[in-house]
Structure 1
Amino acid sequence: MTVQRFSPESDLSLDDAMEDLVSAEDFLEFFDVPFDQTVVHINRLHIMQRYHDYLSQAPDLEELADEPRAAVYRQLLVRAYSDFVNSDAQTEKVLKVFKRNDPQSTFVPLDQLLG
């Protein structure tokens, strides 16, 4: 599927145009964000979760018209992607598995394993 970049001249609303976006690459192409495929391949879930987090922190986006809202969406996507260009998932701690303070300190005695 070829993703069309967002254009204010389009007949579709921003929400309608975004409906078919399913991958990190789709979002990056739609908002015309240059990206390194290797960075996206390794960090796609983390980038999209960080993007979601940034969107949820942005106030009153629904009240904006399509063009200014698309500009904010693009800016937040660039920020989310950039977080992983010079960092990694473990450092950024976006997903719950990386947010644990106590790294797997569960002890199971040998006799319980052999049982």
Structure 2
Amino acid sequence: MDSLTQRLKALSSAEDFLQFFGVPYDERTVQVNRLHILKRFYQYLHKAEGLAGLDDVELFRRYRELLVQAHQDFVTSTAAREKVFKVFQDADGTQHVQLSSLRESLAERRAARAAG
């Protein structure tokens, strides 16, 4: 019999993980937040203590609990509020571009077009 770890390696999408663990999920939430859910699941796994000594059955149970929690985070919140990825952590998810930078870029494009 394959170990739990081996079976998990075959999974690739959030839907695959949710189905494998038998977690009921909101399709719309997963469609919009699939990468966020997987990243949060990984974060929960990384912080979880006491997983190393568990057998596959107990490990499956704990992984399932953490996946349920990761999914639920995005049912009750948004990606911008949860800030799983760096883009949302930096400057609260906003980007700042200097007006002078835009002017320079526009001038360079105009010059390139005139030369070309």
One fold, TM greater than 0.5? yes
TM-score range normalised by the length of the shorter chain = 0.7 to 0.9
Following the alignment from structure 2 to structure 1, what is the Cα–Cα distance between the partners of residues 19 and 104? 53
Alpha-carbon distance change, 111 to 91 in structure 1, aligned in 2, over 3 angstroms = closer
The 10-residue stretch of structure 1 (30-39 or 57-66) with the greater mean CA deviation from structure 2: 57-66
- Residue in 2 that maps onto 1:112: 104
Larger Rg: 2
- Residue in 1 that maps onto 2:59: 69
Unaligned runs of 5+ in 1: 1-10
As a proportion of its length, which structure holds more helix? 2
Following the alignment from structure 1 to structure 2, what is the Cα–Cα distance between the partners of residues 50 and 13? 23
Does residue 90 of the first structure (1) align with residue 84 of the second (2)? no
Q: Number of residue pairs matched?
A: 105
3-state SS of paired residue (2:75):
coil
Following the alignment from structure 2 to structure 1, what is the Cα–Cα distance between the partners of residues 41 and 18? 11
- 4+ residue stretches of structure 1 with deviation over 3 A? none
Q: Which of the residues 47, 51, 59 maps onto 1:57?
A: 47
Following the alignment from structure 1 to structure 2, what is the Cα–Cα distance between the partners of residues 34 and 104? 35
The 10-residue stretch of structure 1 (76-85 or 55-64) with the greater mean CA deviation from structure 2: 55-64
Following the alignment from structure 1 to structure 2, what is the Cα–Cα distance between the partners of residues 24 and 96? 20
Following the alignment from structure 2 to structure 1, what is the Cα–Cα distance between the partners of residues 24 and 49? 26
Following the alignment from structure 1 to structure 2, what is the Cα–Cα distance between the partners of residues 94 and 101? 13
Unaligned runs of 5+ in 2: 109-116
Task: Give, as a single letter, the amino acid of the residue that structure 2 aligns with 1:112.
Answer: E
TM-score (norm 2): 0.82
Q: Which of the residues 21, 30, 37 maps onto 2:11?
A: 21
Percentage identity across paired residues of the two chains:
45
